[in-house]
Amino acid sequence: MFYMAATKQNITTIGIDGGDFYPKDEVKSGIQRLVKSFLNSLLARKRLQSRWFYYFFNEKKEVTTLKPIIAKNIPKRFFSSLFLPLHMLLDRNRVYLGFSGILPHLVRLFGRKSIVFIHDLGFYHNPQYYQDPSRMIWQTEYALYGANRIIVFSDYIKDQIYARFPKIPEGKIVRIYPGADHLIKPKKLPMIKEKFFLYVGVIKAAKNIELLLQYFSEFLSQSTDRNVKLILIGAREDKYYQRICLSSAYKKIHDNLIFTDKVSDQELVGYYLNCLALLNVSHEEGFCYPVIEALHLGRQVIVNDIPLYREFKPFFQSLHIEKEGISFVNSMQCVVKQAVHPIKIIKSPFTWSKFAGELLQVVDEVAL
């Protein structure tokens, strides 16, 4: 695809809000995954006739080279409200990409075009699970009305926004599926001896971990093999984790639970390929990377019945959507009885090359 213009006079410069993602660190969140994978897709393109500035904050003073992308480490304090817009002005960026869902006021004041990513609207439905829902609502509505384009990761979230904000014009919100092909199947399958179910994601209230432990406890009470484990991979919110440890389900099955904070992508692939199934019972999801990652690797995935997963179902036969606890536990039992380890990667629309191509088309439209 011919991207932007070939002359210096009308070449487009783009500023990316990368937040706390540092290129040399392991990915710790969905937003970091998004930023890293998009940057990698840009770097892989042979022709990129535009200038890209990647702004991030990190305690490390060294600046990594991402040619032809210019990486700039700017202060964390007042990052979005002041320093990022000022750097965009000095670097003459015409288009702003807000991966974290924030549209800085100064970006609009300086007359820059903007594309902002809205991940989900969970803080409207379940504000009790978020630290500062009022601020998140304000930031989201400011971005929805102030940005030139809004990118969402599912038709479900797109429909939600139009239903809640009917004055937003048609065409302003664009659905683009993120990729899942950042995880590579190894030539030799790493083996983990013990049988286990897997959860991947942050340990926080919105992810409904207490209900997941109840389902796993019920599974163990019905199982002939009491040695099956549940491995939970992800950073923990301290207060919520302490609440989990005091729950009756945790006390009952704690010997079968393994909490792991950080793993590399290579280690994560090993967990996916060896698990009986990935489990997820979040209250709400706008796009769930672990579910798509596991499905992309051909794994069995068992989830609760929320609208997002129905959108994934046509692409993946190994996705089991269960409406209630009894059917969820029964699905876990069936997976154990039919335990296999398929390693064939499924073809799907969730590729980073496709994501980058569709996003660049939106950039083209906005830059005109």
User: Residue 4 has what pLDDT?
Assistant: 35
Query: Is residue 7 over pLDDT 60?
Result: no
| Mean pLDDT for the stretch of residues 326-344 | 80
| Mean pLDDT for the stretch of residues 315-327 | 93
Mean pLDDT of the chain: 89
User: Residue 5 has what pLDDT?
Assistant: 34
pLDDT-derived band at 225 (thresholds 50, 70, 90) equals: confident
Are 332 and 356 in a shared domain?
no
pLDDT-derived band at 278 (thresholds 50, 70, 90) equals: very high
pLDDT-derived band at 64 (thresholds 50, 70, 90) equals: low
Are 213 and 286 in a shared domain?
yes
3-state secondary structure the chain: CCCCCCCCCCCCEEEEEEECCCCCCCCCCHHHHHHHHHHHHHHHCCCCCCEEEEEECCCCCCCCCECCEEEEECCCCCHHHHHHHHHHHHCCCCEEEECCCCCCHHHHHCCCEEEEECCCCHHHHCHHHCCCHHHHHHHHHHHHHHCCEEEECCHHHHHHHHHHCCCCCCCCEEECCCCCCCCCCCCCCCCCCCCEEEEECCECHHHCHHHHHHHHHHHHHHCCCCCCEEEEECCECHHHHHHHHCCHHHHHHHHHEEEECCCCHHHHHHHHHHCCCEEECCCCCCCCHHHHHHHHCCCCEEEECCHHHHHHHHHCCCEEEECCHHHHHHHHHHHHHCCCCCCCCCCCCCCHHHHHHHHHHHHHHHHC
User: Residue 3 has what pLDDT?
Assistant: 33
pLDDT-derived band at 66 (thresholds 50, 70, 90) equals: confident
Are 128 and 200 in a shared domain?
no
Domain span including residue 319: 196-337
User: Residue 45 has what pLDDT?
Assistant: 83
Residue 355 lies in a domain: yes
Task: Provide the CATH number for the domain around residue 245.
Answer: 3.40.50.2000
Q: In the chain, what percentage of residues exceed pLDDT 70?
A: 93
Higher pLDDT, 9 or 142: 142
Number of domains comprising the chain: 2
Q: What is this structure's pTM?
A: 0.88
